Amino acid sequence: MKKVMLGVSLYPEQETLEEIDAYLKKASTYGFKKVFTSMFSVPGTKEEIIAYFKDFTKIVHKYGMIVSGDCNSELFHRLEATETDLSVFKDIGVDILRMDFSFNDERDATLINNKEGIKIEMSTSFIDVIETAIKNGAKPENISTCHNFYPERYTAPSLEAINDINNYWKAKNIPVAIFISSLVKGSHGPWPVSDGLPTIEEHRDMPIEIQLKHCLALDNVDEIIIGNAYASDEEFKAIDQVMKQVYVDIPKNESLGFLADFVPHGLTKRIPFKIHLDKGITALEKEILFNYPSHSDLGDCMNYMLRSRWTRMIYKGKEIPCRPCDKAYYTRGDVVIVNDNLVHYRGEIQIVLKEMKVDGQRNLLGHIDENEIFILEHIKAKDVFTFVE
């Protein structure tokens, strides 16, 4: 399994090299591997720009990270680059060239197949450009895509549109990068606007770790980049914690016999849902909820609930007495466990998707955090999930 790549963004005209060094040192310790930077916003002569970005890329590479340089047509010509000669970017140390423009002819294919070995990144919206380039001989493995970020509130495209285009590129095995946003007051991007830099409008005011969980649940994103600078220590720690909860190596449960092959094991990606526990939850119920590492639904009945069925086999024979519930109906986001009143299914963990009558066959374990319930929309058959307090 390939883990999603994490990245940060930097805007050199607003930051000193000393600040950049300190920030990247911190980011690298939390597993960040990519740096997105705007190259065309730095003033100066050709020689000054080259000298500056050489120093910049040395810092990035010092921390084992790669550089994606955002380039527009003006900078491209100012640096005297051509589709057949990207040596100036190679000399600078750029690993990926994010093209803010296209030639709209056979030159795009030539650019993508450049002899310098620089990967070409284009906007996810450049569907016709990329498809035409591939028809003209461009190698798909040299191409990646990246969404835009949206500094102005309410200008980002719909989640549905973003999801559709992600799935389009995923089907073609072309990587997709997306931006999430720091909530640090005064954090900046390339322009004098400080209202977040997300790709998805609904992310603009969300805690960064929930943005991350959402992107991971979409399951069609290869790189997740913090669009604005600087993210806080607390945000880096929150991201690190989520990543450790998401990617885990699960041992094979041999106690299940031949069924063990069908249960998620090995390096596994999980979506961690924050849960607020019911005050009456028992020690055994907590053990089943938290200790079982790979809750998932087989996908045949994802209507009223998500069913984690393997727990009823692993904890078969364990008594789960019925506990009273002061609700008449379970509601979306409630997490329940089947109790002794339905012995055949006892121990099965379920996440409620639609309102269900409380009938005494299930005990309430808790409720998914209200800020994360929307992520349930993206849980598909056999997706693995877990619970955290």
pTM of the model: 0.95
Given a cut of 90, whether residue 112 has pLDDT beyond it is yes
Asked whether residue 191 carries a pLDDT value surpassing 80, the answer given is no
Cα R_g (the chain), whole angstroms = 24
pLDDT tens, position by position, 291-314: 999 999 999 989 999 999 999 999
Domains of the chain, by residue range, sit at 5-246, 251-388
* Residue 377, φ and ψ in degrees, nearest 5: -60, -25
Percent of the chain with pLDDT over 70: 100
Residue 372, pLDDT > 80, answer yes
Q: What is the pLDDT of residues 162-184, one digit of tens each?
A: 999 999 999 999 999 999 999 99
Pick the CATH number of 5-246 from 3.20.20.70, 3.30.70.360, 3.40.190.10, 3.20.20.140: 3.20.20.70
Give the up-direction half-sphere exposure of residue 23: CA atoms within 13 A in the CB hemisphere: 23
**299 contacts 380 by C-beta, under 8 angstroms:** yes
Q: Would you place residue 194 in the very low, low, confident or very high pLDDT band (cuts 50, 70, 90)?
A: confident
**What value does the mean pLDDT of the chain take?**
96
CATH number 3.40.50.2000 is the correct assignment for the domain at 251-388: no
More confident of the two residues 195 and 322 = 322
Q: What local confidence, expressed as pLDDT, does residue 7 receive?
A: 99
Write out the DSSP string of 237-289. Answer: HHHHHHHHHHEEEEPP-GGGGGGGGGS--EEEEEEEEEEEE-TT--HHHHHHH
